[in-house]
Amino acid sequence: MEHNNSELLQYIAPGKTVHLIGIGGVSMRSLGPVLTGMGVKVTGSDRDASKSTKELEEQGIKIIIGHYAENVIGADCVIRTSAVHDDNPEIISAHRLGIPVFERAQAWGVIMKSYQNAICVSGTHGKTTVTSMITHIMMEADKDPTVMIGGYLPLIQSCHRVGKGDTIILEACEYCDSFLSFYPSLSVILNIEEDHLDYFKDLADIQKSFRKFAQLASDRVLVNGDDPHCLQAVEGLTYTTFGFGGENTVHPDNLCPDWQHMDVVCDGQFYCHLDLKVMGKHNALNALASAAAAWMLGVPGEVAAKGLATFVGAHRRMQFKGKYNGADLYDDFAHHPDELRAVIDVVKTMGYKRFVLVFQPYTYTRTVSFFDDFVRELEKADHLVLPEICAARETDTLGISSRHLQEKIPGSVYFETLPEVTEYLCSIAREGDMILSSGCGDVYKAIDAMLE
């Protein structure tokens, strides 16, 4: 049985000991240092050792590799990632010992209650980029923010930051309704599409969840006014819109065809001029959302512009990794058809002779749910390489494989393992190629192995 946020509040306090299960995960690894900074003693466990667990150990956090019943002994409470289920030995032990168990999202919710400005960035796509962009702006504004990002941000040399200011910025994920445990003062909704259909019934169900998230905002709601799914979700609520359309409260003027230069108009008044270092229509929209959030928080336009001018991208977002045999190697997190479309649109403007896409589908349910959409986007590559599906939290009960995509796309190739992918890419790489690995699993390792 899970406990509510008010119960957790008594355990996030100086002198208490909190044990984090799955501490090496994206939003768990940042939770450890944040709790430590609040005077809480933190221990943690994870299935495998990683760069993240090593970094946490270097910060003085005790890490146990492997899940054992005795790991929770001495803890006042346990916090787990959503990937850890009730059959985990540590969860079973905690229940037996009477140690309360909470979800990761509940912990972030309790933490953000102590901040005057809690900026929560939600949406099916773009959360990491917009959270990173807003972080750049708030750092430029000397807000000394606390930050939790779903990817590495060079500016803070981490995926998290513990600040001393009154502002916290973090991603708000809809999966399993995690973001409904948050206490935002500014809720940002970037877009709403069908996703996570292993949890949600359909688009309408997803929209209901986002509506509840919008209603949590104690102060303001910022919504993509170009997205009809967003507008349907917040119908009847009070909100501010951003988007390319001139009817939006925040919109661009004098937008250049390359999507990198624009004036930002807020409520009919010039706010700032943006010169972006990131490419693509989707990043122009991300920058608009970030500038709109800054405007709503009272940040001067010139500060917002300067902060965004220093943003060169987040980890695994069209990240240039290096060269192999004359080919440029890139990596991106895109794992949804809409994200693939945005990335491929950018690649097509970059002038390469050949675009080699290495796409690793993420989870069996997503692959089945969006199969035809994936085929439509993947066939845009000049050459497609398909590793096997990354199972993540699932087991294959649907009889689906990357081989089924390969059978639908002429000229594509399939490999069961990443080492086979690496060997193949090394054999075909040539001058004038862009080789892009894409997916939120471990497909990036194929590119990294080429560079090694």
Euclidean distance between CA atoms 94 and 245, whole angstroms: 52
- Given this model, what pLDDT does residue 196 score? 79
Segment 144-201, tens digit of pLDDT: 999 988 888 889 888 888 898 999 999 998 888 889 989 999 999 999 988 877 788 8
How many residues are present in the chain? Answer: 452
pTM over cut 0.85: no
* Mode of pairing for the β-strands spanning 261-266 and 250-253: antiparallel
- Is residue 7 predicted with pLDDT exceeding 90? no
Domains in the chain: boundaries = 5-107, 115-309, 319-451
Buried b (16+ CB within 10 A) or exposed e, 115-154: bebbbbbbbbbbbbbbbbbbbbbbbbbebebbbbbbbbbe
For residues 385 and 356, the answer to whether their CB atoms sit within 8 Å is: yes
Q: Which two tokens stand for residue 442?
A: 């471990």
Distances (CA, A) of 125 to 104, 283, 297: 21, 11, 23
Higher per-residue pLDDT: 318 or 41: 41
- Given this model, what pLDDT does residue 417 score? 94
Q: Which two tokens stand for residue 97?
A: 């010992």
**CATH code of the region 5-107:** 3.40.50.720
β-bridge partners, 212: none
- Given this model, what pLDDT does residue 346 score? 85
- Given this model, what pLDDT does residue 4 score? 56
Q: Which two tokens stand for residue 363?
A: 């989870």
- Given this model, what pLDDT does residue 447 score? 93
Q: Which CATH class is domain 115-309?
A: alpha beta
> Domain 319-451, what fold?
Protein-Tyrosine Phosphatase; Chain A (3.90.190)
Segment 92-101, tens digit of pLDDT: 999 999 999 9
- Given this model, what pLDDT does residue 359 score? 95
Q: Which of 191, 183, 78 is nearest to 126 (CA)?
A: 191
Q: Is 217 left (phi over 0), alpha (psi -120 to 50) or beta?
A: beta
Quote the percentage of the chain above a pLDDT of 90.
Answer: 72
- Is residue 324 predicted with pLDDT exceeding 60? yes
Q: Is 30 left (phi over 0), alpha (psi -120 to 50) or beta?
A: alpha
- Given this model, what pLDDT does residue 2 score? 40
Q: Which of 340, 353, 241, 366 is nearest to 282 (CA)?
A: 340
Q: Which of 261, 369, 266, 349 is nearest to 308 (CA)?
A: 261
β-bridge partners, 426: none
* Mode of pairing for the β-strands spanning 261-266 and 413-415: unpaired
Segment 220-274, tens digit of pLDDT: 999 999 999 999 999 999 999 999 999 999 999 999 998 999 999 999 999 999 9
Euclidean distance between CA atoms 186 and 153, whole angstroms: 22
Distances (CA, A) of 261 to 142, 281, 309, 437: 25, 11, 10, 28
Residue 32 has, within 13 A of its CA and on its CB side, a CA count of 30
Segment 46-87, tens digit of pLDDT: 999 988 899 899 989 999 999 999 999 999 999 998 788 899
Higher per-residue pLDDT: 41 or 26: 41
- Is residue 1 predicted with pLDDT exceeding 70? no
- Is residue 314 predicted with pLDDT exceeding 90? no
Q: Which two tokens stand for residue 263?
A: 């004036």
- Is residue 306 predicted with pLDDT exceeding 70? yes
Q: Round to the nearest angstrom and report the end-to-end CA distance of the chain.
A: 47
- Given this model, what pLDDT does residue 150 score? 82
